[in-house]
Amino acid sequence: MADLSEKNYSALFQEKKKRFSDEFNHIELIDFFKSPYLGYRYRAEFSLIKKNGYTSLAMTKDGQKKEITSFPIANLRIQNLMESLIRFINTNSIISDKLFQVEFQSSRTDDSLITLIYHKNLGSDWEQQALEFASSENVSVIGRSKKQKIKIGNDYVKETYSYLNNTYPLFLFEQCFSQTNPYICDDMLNWVSENVEPSLEDVLELHCGLGTFTILLSRLFRKVLATENSRPSIKGLKQNLELNNSNNVYFARLSGQETLAALNQERIFNRLSAIDLNEFEFSSVFLDPPREGLDDKTLLNVKNFNQIIYISCGFETFKRDMNYLEKTHEVKKLAMFDQFPYTDHIESGAILVKKAPD
């Protein structure tokens, strides 16, 4: 088992810090954010492995399934649910039959959800047994199979994020991307709010997801145009905006490239028919792309914004994109967020402002 001690975590964090600092040694203003060394994961996915008639949770390593007997990097609520669920699976053939994947999600108030994914159609007998487990553990349960979803309780957990002296709630929906480490998410929100001046102009947000950063941006800028290509995430975003009474956010289901094409009047989209793009005065763009980073066309377009706020989950693509963006923008602040301790993964943040013309 990996060394999950605080001492080892601190040593690994220093290695990441050095790696980040060495890469950006020309930048003076860099902030570094550590994670708790245990109990920081609030989402976890497992496959199943059966040995000697006993079913266990498993994860794949080096192409092979490895049994998971403990998972201390998860929060305590998920750890307890893992134990309860395995006991239930091993004593209930209706629940265990053709079950191949299990997903856990929780919040810091212990609001919790388990998704069970099957290679079979789920009937009323399954629903009755799942309801029994959900009631005994005070947890929501989702059953999924091909073209089927059975919901017992909610299909989301409710998390509350903090920045400076403010908070806001967010519904984190099942099957939608959300931040795995809420403590680091608070750090990211706080870092953005500390380093971005409130503005009477507007911000464009690409890849907005469920609205984790959208709510914050709505409090820093006059208006927000938020776009996202995922239907479930856009549906979740709508509910989160209603939850927070965010009335200055306009949103549409568009990819980043489609959004920029619309702004450049290259294409007309029916999905934008209710939004008058001429009413926006964009000074800033907020980017939180997938791991592959920004495509060439997006890079070409975002350099026209006065301010670029960039959160990245892929360090190699972040380095590549920063090399391009620094040709037109000065780096105001950088940050390294240790979203995934004990791994090589580095989450990065940058705030850039446009260089004055020569």
Query: Which residue stretches of the chain are H helix?
Result: 6-23, 76-89, 93-96, 124-137, 182-195, 214-220, 231-243, 256-263, 296-302, 315-325
The pLDDT assigned to 357 comes to 79
Q: How many CA atoms are closer than 13 Å to the CA of 198, on its beta-carbon side?
A: 5
- Rounded Cα–Cα distance for residues 224 and 204 (Å): 6
- Compute the C-alpha angle 311/188/104, nearest 5°: 95
Return the closest-CA partner of residue 44 out of 89, 80, 3.
80
Residue with tokens 């294409």: 267
Catalytic residues: 313, 347
3-class SS at 35?
A: coil
- Helix (H) / strand (E) containing 45: strand 43-51
- Helix (H) / strand (E) containing 48: strand 43-51
**Do β-strands 148-152 and 156-163 pair in parallel, antiparallel, or remain unpaired?**
unpaired
What are the C-alpha distances in Å from 27 to residues 175, 188, 194, 320, 328?
A: 38, 19, 18, 16, 16
DSSP 25: T
- Rounded Cα–Cα distance for residues 53 and 90 (Å): 9
Tens-digit pLDDT profile for the chain (358 aa)? 589 999 999 999 999 999 999 999 999 999 999 999 999 999 999 999 999 889 999 999 888 999 999 999 999 999 999 999 999 999 999 999 999 999 999 999 999 999 999 999 999 999 999 999 999 999 999 999 999 999 999 999 999 999 999 999 999 999 999 999 999 999 999 999 999 999 999 999 999 999 999 999 999 999 999 999 999 999 999 999 999 999 999 999 999 999 999 999 999 999 999 999 999 999 999 999 988 889 899 999 999 999 999 999 999 999 999 999 999 999 999 999 999 999 999 999 999 999 987 6
What's the pTM value of the predicted model, to 2 decimals? Answer: 0.95
DSSP 258-293: HHHHHHTTS---GGGTT--GGG--EEEEEE---TT-
- Rounded Cα–Cα distance for residues 79 and 135 (Å): 18
Sign of CA dihedral 266, 272, 278, 281: negative
The pLDDT assigned to 169 comes to 98
CB 196 within 8 A of CB 206: no
CB 195 within 8 A of CB 332: yes
